[in-house]
Amino acid sequence: SAAMAAPVTDAHRRFLQVLMSHGIMEGSEARKLHRRCCEIHKVYYAHDKLDDFISTINSHLQPLFMQIRKGMSEGDGRAHYALVNLAETEITKMASDYTENELELFRKTMDLIILSENGFASSTDILNLADQLKTKKMKKKEAEQVLKVFVEDKWLSEKNGEYTLHTRCIIEMEQYILSNYQDVARKCNICHSLAIQSQVCESCGTGMHLPCVRKYFRAQTEPRCPQCNDFWSADIP
């Protein structure tokens, strides 16, 4: 309970403020910030205690229905920390920032990404949806602009005209996605968190994040599915 938790210091408060302004932070950045906050406020600093430091903050955020969560980038497997709002599902939270038809475009984009084989949706496919929106059709130019904003706001990320869910979006929306896409949303067989960009076993449908695939098969002479032991036919990244 919050009453039993370690006391929150100005170092904790500063850490939270900086994280709030970023929304998400890469692990090495968070470790640097941890150290800097402790030094500025003359609080005892233990380099290997970032997760304890964060759980102290979390115990005090509990009554506010907020939480700092740790997740990983699906591209390179690096740890990230994001501040998550637990009180409202993320789609309702987005509703305060976007119009009805922008939200509909986001939902449809999310459908494309989650239903795709590899966790990406092409800009062409997304823009084709823009003039089929039920709420209010969008012109291509307008839709391109909206996609740009989704990338700036860290809901989507884009590479060579292909869109996927941003790490922050995955950390925030994991529960929402798992409950709203029950039949298709996959958990990674290795790290057991939601996998959007993944490779899938052709025989049994087991999915793994690319960084997890890389790690898992590093030690194996022949890549075989951890679940059904069949040959893993996808190219190891």
- Give the CATH architecture of domain 91-171: Orthogonal Bundle (1.10)
Mean pLDDT within 216-237: 90
Domain 185-236 CATH assignment equals 3.40.50.720? no
Q: Please, where in the chain does CATH 3.30.40.10 lie?
A: 185-236
In the 3-class helix/strand/coil scheme, how is 175-231 assigned residue by residue?
HHHHHHCCCCCEECCCCCCEECCEEECCCCCCEEEHHHHHHHHHCCCCCECCCCCCE
Q: What is the pLDDT of residue 2?
A: 47
pLDDT in tens, 148-198: 999 999 999 999 999 999 999 999 899 889 989 998 898 999 999 999 999
CATH 1.10.10.10 domain extents, the chain: 91-171
Residue of 170, 156, 72 whose CA lies nearest to 121? 156
Q: For the chain, what is the mean pLDDT?
A: 91
pLDDT digits (tens, 9 = 90+) for 53-99: 999 999 999 988 899 999 999 989 999 999 988 876 667 778 888 99
